[in-house]
Amino acid sequence: MIVKVAFYKGKGDWKNKIIRWWTKSQYSHAELVLPNDITWISISPLLSGKVSARSIYEVKNLQDWDFLSFELSWRQPVRDYQLKQLHSFIKETNGAKYDWTGMILSQIFPYLIKHRDKWYCSEWIAHALVKARIVMWDDLHIYRTPNLSPGKLYEVLKSYKPNYK
Choose between 142 and 5: higher pLDDT.
Answer: 5
Overall pTM > 0.85: yes
Q: Residue 27 in contact with residue 150, Cβ under 8 Å?
A: yes
Torsional class of 109: left (φ above 0), alpha (ψ -120 to 50), beta (otherwise): beta
First to last CA, the chain: 17
Distance CA 65, CA 10 (A): 7
- Ordered structural domains, the chain, with CATH: 2-158 (3.90.1720.10)
pLDDT of 143 reads 63
Mean pLDDT of 135-143: 75
pLDDT band at 146; cut points 50, 70, 90? low
